[in-house]
Amino acid sequence: MDFTEIFRQIIISAPAILVAIVFHELAHGWVAHKLGDNTAKYEGRLTLNPISHIDPFGTIIMPLMLLIFTSGQWIFGYAKPVPVNPYNFKNPRAGMALTALGGPVANLLVAIVCTIILKWLILPFMGVIPVFILNPLLLILKATIMINIVLAAFNLIPIPPLDGGRILMGVLPIKYSEFMERIEPYGSIIVILMIVTGLTKLFVLPLVKLFYTILSII
C-alpha cells in the first residue's frame, strides 16, 4: 500500500473509528449514570468530545499500524475505558451487565442510523449530489457501518474484560460468575491468543453476518 492509499484509508477510517469508540464509551457511561453511578459524569466522560475518550495507543497508534501492516484489510481500535463503580448500583451484577451491554447496543444503533441515511437520504439522490461529495460520503458511511458492526460483535465475545464477558457475569449463577471473575486478569491475554489463532472469527463473523442481515431489511 503506497502513501496515497494509506492517506485515503485514514481519511475514510478515522471518522468511522472515532464515531464508533466515542458512542461506545459514552453509552457505557450514560447507562451507568441512569442506573445511579455518576463516576463517568464526574470525570467528564459523558460527552461526544473525542478528546475525552481517546487512548493514544488504542485510538491512534494501533489502528494506524493495522492499516499499514494489513494493507487496510483489518482496522480496529479502542478508547479509554469509562470508569464505573458497581457499588453505586442497586443491583451491582445487573448494573454492570446492563452498562456493558450499552456499548455494543450503541454501536448497532449508529450502524442503523448510518444505514438509514445511506438508503433513504443518499442513494435515492445519487444523481443530484455532486460526485466529489457523494463518493467520500458513501465511503465514510459504509466504513462507519462496518466498523460499528465489527466493534459490537467483537465486544460481545463472552470473555471479561470484554463487554460480552461482563454481560455473562451478570446473568450467570454466582459460582460461575465468580469463576469468570477469577479469569478476568488473564482475559486480555486469552483474547489476544484468540485473535492470533483466528478463534475470534468463529464468534465474530456469525454475529457480523447476523447484524448485516438485520440492516439489510431496513
Residues 102-125 have pLDDT tens digits of: 999 999 999 999 999 999 999 998
Give the Cα separation of 181 and 32 in Å (integer).
Answer: 20
pLDDT for position 36: 97
- pLDDT value of position 59: 83
pLDDT tens, residue by residue, 51-62: 999 888 888 887
- Rounded mean pLDDT of 181-185? 92
The predicted pLDDT at position 71 comes to 65
Share of the chain above pLDDT 90, in %: 68
User: Does 5 have pLDDT greater than 90?
Assistant: no
Average pLDDT, the chain: 91
**Statement: residue 50 has pLDDT above 70:** yes
**What integer pLDDT is reported at residue 168 of this predicted model?**
96
- pLDDT band of residue 135 (cuts 50, 70, 90) is very high
Backbone torsion region of residue 72, taken as left when φ is above 0, otherwise alpha when ψ lies between -120 and 50, otherwise beta: left
Its pTM stands at 0.91
Q: What pLDDT sits at residue 218?
A: 85
**10 vs 94: CA distance, rounded Å:** 39
The answer to whether the beta carbons of residues 163 and 21 sit under 8 Å apart is no
Q: Which residues are catalytic?
A: 25
Rounded CA separation 156/108 (Å): 12
| pLDDT at res. 76 | 66
pLDDT attached to residue 153: 96
Contacts of residue 70, defined as CB under 8 A and 6 or more positions apart, other chains included, come to: none
Q: Do 28 and 102 touch, CB atoms closer than 8 A?
A: yes
Q: Cα Rg for the chain, rounded, in angstroms?
A: 18
Give mean pLDDT, residues 189-209. Answer: 90
Distance CA 44, CA 20 (A): 18
